[in-house]
Amino acid sequence: MMNIHQILKQLPHRYPFLLVDRVLAIEKGKSIKALKNVTINEPFFEGHFPHRPVMPGVLMLEALAQAAALLAFDALGTSPSDEMVYYFAGIDGARFKRPVEPGDQLILEVELLRMKAGIFKFKARALVDDELAVEAELTCAMRNIT
């Protein structure tokens, strides 16, 4: 488990872009289960959509990528630094199955498929009430920027 204070030490993201509230379980080098509480106070709901607020699909994918980053840093036994960035390198097979609305708890499940030379491939999905909301394969890259 990881609380918000531990997550803030591991991810460079901050409000309004930090999209992981808690890590429920992590199996080193294998998988992570985390959660994002979706509230009406999210700034994106103001414009997406005012008459029927729905979490944007790209932000669901970003939440999954942030959970994947936590898994990657844990697998490597490292933390992010000012000299390193963690980028999206690809999103394959993204499918959106249900809308995510204020009041939902988005459960983020990410499995590490492989890692080699700073490139990570993940199988990811997010659920609300055990119902699939989004699934995709994510490719991410860690790169030194110095």
pLDDT tens, position by position, 45-78: 999 998 999 999 999 999 999 999 999 999 998 8
Domain boundaries, the chain: 4-144
Q: What is the pLDDT, as a whole number, of residue 66?
A: 97
Active site residue 51: no
Q: What is the pLDDT, as a whole number, of residue 101?
A: 98
| C-alpha distances out from residue 78 to 4, 70, 84, 129, 145, Å | 18, 10, 11, 33, 16
Dihedral angle, C-alpha 34, 118, 113, 30, nearest 10 °:
-50
CATH label, 4-144, candidates 3.40.50.300, 3.10.129.10, 3.30.70.420, 1.10.3720.10: 3.10.129.10
| C-alpha distances out from residue 73 to 35, 76, 126, 140, Å | 18, 5, 20, 12
Global pTM reads 0.96
Q: What is the pLDDT, as a whole number, of residue 31?
A: 98
Q: What is the pLDDT of residues 118-140, one digit of tens each?
A: 999 999 999 999 999 999 999 99
Identify residue 91 by its one-letter amino acid code.
Answer: I
Q: What is the pLDDT, as a whole number, of residue 79?
A: 80
Catalytic residue among 5, 13, 48, 51: 48
Q: Which of 47, 54, 61 is nearest to 99 (CA)?
A: 54
Confidence check: pLDDT of 8 > 90: yes
Identify residue 35 by its one-letter amino acid code.
Answer: L
